Chain A
Amino acid sequence: MPALFLAQDPWINFDVQALVEQFWFNTVEGLSQGSIYALIALGYTLVYGVLKLINFAHSEVFIYGAFATWFTFYGLGFRPGSTPDLPLFELIGFLLLALIAAMLISGGTAVVLERVAYRPLRKHKAPRLAFLITAIGASFVLQQIIFLWRGGNAEQAIRLMRPEEVFTIFGASVTNLTIIIVVCSLALMLIADTFINRTRVGRGIRAVSQDPDTATLMGVNKERVIMLTFLVGGVLAGAAALLYMMKIPQGASYQGGFLLGIKAFAAAVLGGIGNIRGALLGGLLIGLFENYGQSLFGGEWRDIVAFVVLILILMFRPTGILGESLGKARV
C-alpha cells in the first residue's frame, strides 16, 4: 500500500529540457528579481552588522514602502488596470515622486521601529533573544496595522509603464523595465557601498559594527549611528518597494513582504550577513536559483528553492560566501 501511495504520480519532475531552453530567459528574470532582493537584503545586512540583530520587521518596512508607492500613484489619479501612455518626462517625474514617498515612508518606519521597539531593549541591556522576539512582535504589529486598515486583499497593482522589449540576448528579451530595475538597484548598491566605505558617517557605522564600546570612546555617537543604519536600510527598502511594484503583478498586500523578506534575508545570509557586497551577490544568486529551480522542478516549487538553498548554505558555510565583514572593511 505505501508503495502505491508513493507511486501515484510523480510529485516533482526534473525538466532538464525546460531548464536549458529557458536558461537565458530565467537569467534575465533572475537578475532583475535578484537585484530587488539584494536591495532589501542590504537592510538586513546593515542592521545585523551594527546590532547583531536579525531585523525581522524589515519585510514590513519594505511593504510600507510598497503601499506608499501605491498611494502615490493613486493620489496622482492613476487607477489599477490599463497602463496609461505617459510622456517620458512626466513618467520620470511620477516615478521619482513615488520613489521619494516610498523612501520617506520606509525610512521613517525603520527609524520609528528602532526608537519604539529596539532602543528600550538596548537601554535595558536585554539578551539577544529578546531582540529577536521583539522584532517578531514588531513585524506582527506593522503587518496588522496594514491589515486592519486595508483588509486582507492585495491592492491591485498600478502600472505607469508597459514593459517593452529593448533587445534580446540569446533569444531572451530584455525589457526596458528589467534594465531600469537592474540599473537602479546596482546604482543604489554602489551608492550605499560608497557611503559605508568612504564617508564619515559610514566610518562611524563600520566602527560601531566592529566594536561599539571602543567606537563610543572614540567619539562616535552610537545611538545616532544605529538610527542612521536603520534609516539607510529603510530607504533602500523603499527604493526596492518601488521597483517591486513596477515589476511584480500581485501589487501590495499586508503579508506580501513576508516571503520576500525571508528570501532577502536568505540572500543576505548567502552572501555573508554583515557584508554589503555579499548582499548583492546573495540577492542575485537567490534570484537566479529561484528561476532556474522554477524551470527545473515546476513553478509551484519556486519558493522552496530559496529555503533549501538557505539551509544548504548555512550547513556548509555558516558565515556565507563572502563572510561577515561590515566591521572589517578597510577604506
Chain B
Amino acid sequence: MTAATTTPTSPTKRSGGRPMRERWSKLNRFQQWAVLIPVAAFIYLLPVLNPPILTTEPGYDFSIAMFEVARFALIAIGLNVVVGQAGLLDLGYVGFFAIGAYVAALFTSPDSVLADLPFLVVLPIAMAITMVFGVILGTPTLRLRGDYLAIVTLGFGEIVRLLADNIDPLRGNRGFQDVGAPPGTWSDGSAIFTNTDGKPWYWFCVTIIIVMLILVGNLERSRVGRAWVAIRDDEDAAQLMGVPTFRYKIWAFVIGAAIGGLAGALYAGQLSFVNNQKFDVVTSVLFLCAVILGGSGNKVGVMLGAFVIAYVPLRFLAIAEYKYLIFGMALIVLMIFRPQGLLGARQHLLSYGRRAYQRFLGKGERVSGDSALAGEDRNGGRP
C-alpha cells in the first residue's frame, strides 16, 4: 500500500495497542470467556447500577441515555460493515435508519392505515425492507468510487428525507404516534417496554448488539469478510484476483442497511413517535463520526466511538449546544494526527498475513498500512 510506505509515522508508534491485543488472542477460549462474561454482566447492569460519575442524571434519564448509547453502537456496527469493512463511504446511512423507523411506524402505529402487527414481527420485516432498499440503492451507485459514492449516498439520504416530507401517507411533520413495543408486563400489570423507562429497551438492544457482533464477526472471518478487506485495500487488485467485487459490495451495503433498519425500528419503538424531523444529513454524519472516531474496521473501536458520540452530549448537557462544533473540530484534529481513528483498525487476518510475510523476509515485525482509510489512496500519497 503506497500510503503506508510513505507515512512518516514510525512503526513502533503505530502499533501502540499491539501487546494488549496479542496477549488477548493468546488466551484460550475459556480464559477469554472468563473476562467477557463479567464485562457483559456489568454492561447489562449499568442502568441499574447507575454509577455516580457515569450517570447523566439529574439532567437526563440515565436508562434512556444508555439506550441511546446502545442504539448508536448498533448503528455504528452496521455502518462499520459498509465503511470499515468494505471501505465504501456511505453518507446516507440515515436513509436506512429512517426506512426502518418508518416501517416500524407504518405497521404498528394506529395512525397508519396498514394492519397492526406485533412489534417483534415488524423488526424482521423492517430489516427485510431496508435490505431491499439497500439493493435498490446499491445496484446503480456502487459502480462509483470514493468521493462520488459519498455524494451519491448523501443524495440518497436526502431523497429519503424529502420523500418522508412529501408523501402524504407518511404524514410528514405530524408523524406517527404510539408506535408499537415488544409485549410483556411487569408483575404489577404495567407494560415493560414504555417510552419513559429505557432499561428494558437497553437490555433488548444490548442483546441484539451481542447477536449482531457474533453474526458480523463470523461474517468478517468468512470468505465474504475477506473479500471485503480485499476490496477495501485495493479494489482493482481484488477484481483482478477474481473477487466479484460488485456482488460483495452489494452484500456489505445490504447487511449494513439491515442493521441500520433494525436500529431505526428500535428507535421508533422506544420513542413511540416518528416524524420527518430526525433523519437529516447531520445525523448521518454523526453516525459516520462514530465509526471514524473509534477507528473504522474495528468493532470495539466503533462501539467506543458510538459511546463517545452519543454519551458526551447527554452527560455534559452544558456543552450539548456545542456538540457539532466539538465533533467538527475533533474530526479535523483526528484526521490530522490519527487518521485511523482512536483504536486503529487492524484486520487480524491481514496483519497476521503481513507479519508472517515480514518474518519470512527476515525483516522482523512491522505492521503497516492498518488504516482502513489507506485503501482509498490511489494517488500515491498525493491528496
B148 interface residue (CB < 8 Å to A) = yes
Which residues does B use to contact A, with CB under 8 Å? 3, 6-8, 89, 112-115, 140-141, 143-144, 146-148, 150-152, 154-156, 158-159, 162-163, 165-169, 281, 285, 288, 292, 321-322, 324-325, 327-332, 335-336, 339, 371, 373-379, 381-383
Q: How far is the CA of A121 from the CA of B336 in the complex (A)?
A: 5
Q: Are B151 and A125 in touch, CB under 8 angstroms? A: no
Chain B residues in 8 Å Cβ range of A138: 328, 332
A9 interface residue (CB < 8 Å to B) = yes
Q: Are A129 and B376 in touch, CB under 8 angstroms? A: yes
Which of A126, A129, A137 interacts with B329 by CB under 8 Å? A137
Q: Which residue of B lies closest to A226 (CB)?
A: B383
Known: A129-B373, A130-B373, A132-B89. A139 touches B152 (CB 8 A): no
A148 interface residue (CB < 8 Å to B) = yes
List the 3 closest A-B pairs by CB distance, nearest first: A137-B331, A140-B328, A141-B328
Q: How far is the CA of A258 from the CA of B148 in the complex (A)?
A: 17
Known: A5-B169, A148-B322. A128 touches B383 (CB 8 A): yes
Q: Are A144 and B150 in touch, CB under 8 angstroms? A: no
Q: Which residue of A lies closest to B170 (CB)?
A: A11
Chain A residues in 8 Å Cβ range of B150: 54, 132
Residue among B7, B154, B166 with the highest chain A CB neighbour number at 10 A:
B166
Chain A residues in 8 Å Cβ range of B146: 128-129, 132
Q: Which residue of B lies closest to A211 (CB)?
A: B382
Taking the nearest CB of chain B, how far is it from the CB of A317, in angstroms? 11
Q: Are B331 and A134 in touch, CB under 8 angstroms? A: yes
Interface-located stretch among A187-195, A275-283, A300-308 = A300-308
Taking the nearest CB of chain B, how far is it from the CB of A133, in angstroms? 5
A127 interface residue (CB < 8 Å to B) = yes
A184 interface residue (CB < 8 Å to B) = no
A266-311 at interface with B (beta carbon < 8 Å): 266, 269, 300-301, 303-304, 307-308, 310-311
B interface footprint on A51-82 (CB within 8 Å = 1, 0 otherwise): 11110000000000000000000000000000
Which of A134, A311, A318 interacts with B335 by CB under 8 Å? A134
Taking the nearest CB of chain A, how far is it from the CB of B226, in angstroms? 21
Which of B152, B374, B383 interacts with A121 by CB under 8 Å? B383
A17 interface residue (CB < 8 Å to B) = no
Interface secondary structure of A, over-half rule: helix
Known: A127-B3, A127-B373. A136 touches B115 (CB 8 A): no
Q: Which residue of B lies closest to A9 (CB)?
A: B168
Q: Are B140 and A126 in touch, CB under 8 angstroms? A: no
Chain B residues in 8 Å Cβ range of A133: 288, 292, 331, 335
Taking the nearest CB of chain B, how far is it from the CB of A308, in angstroms? 7
A1 interface residue (CB < 8 Å to B) = yes
A4 interface residue (CB < 8 Å to B) = yes
Q: Are B144 and A318 in touch, CB under 8 angstroms? A: yes
Which of B144, B162, B371 interacts with A304 by CB under 8 Å? B162
Q: Which residue of B lies closest to A118 (CB)?
A: B383
Q: Which residue of B lies closest to A213 (CB)?
A: B382
Q: Are A311 and B285 in touch, CB under 8 angstroms? A: no
Q: Which residue of A lies closest to B337 (CB)?
A: A124
A253 interface residue (CB < 8 Å to B) = no
Chain A residues in 8 Å Cβ range of B168: 8-9, 11
Q: How far is the CA of A311 from the CA of B154 in the complex (A)?
A: 10
Q: List 11 additional contacts besides A132-B146, A137-B332, A308-B159; criterion CB under 8 Å.
A: A8-B168, A124-B336, A132-B147, A134-B336, A140-B331, A148-B322, A262-B151, A262-B155, A266-B151, A301-B162, A314-B152
Q: Are A265 and B151 in touch, CB under 8 angstroms? A: yes
Q: Which residue of B lies closest to A143 (CB)?
A: B324
Q: Are A304 and B159 in touch, CB under 8 angstroms? A: yes
Q: Are A304 and B382 in touch, CB under 8 angstroms? A: no
Q: Are A303 and B155 in touch, CB under 8 angstroms? A: no
Chain A residues in 8 Å Cβ range of B336: 120-121, 124, 126, 134
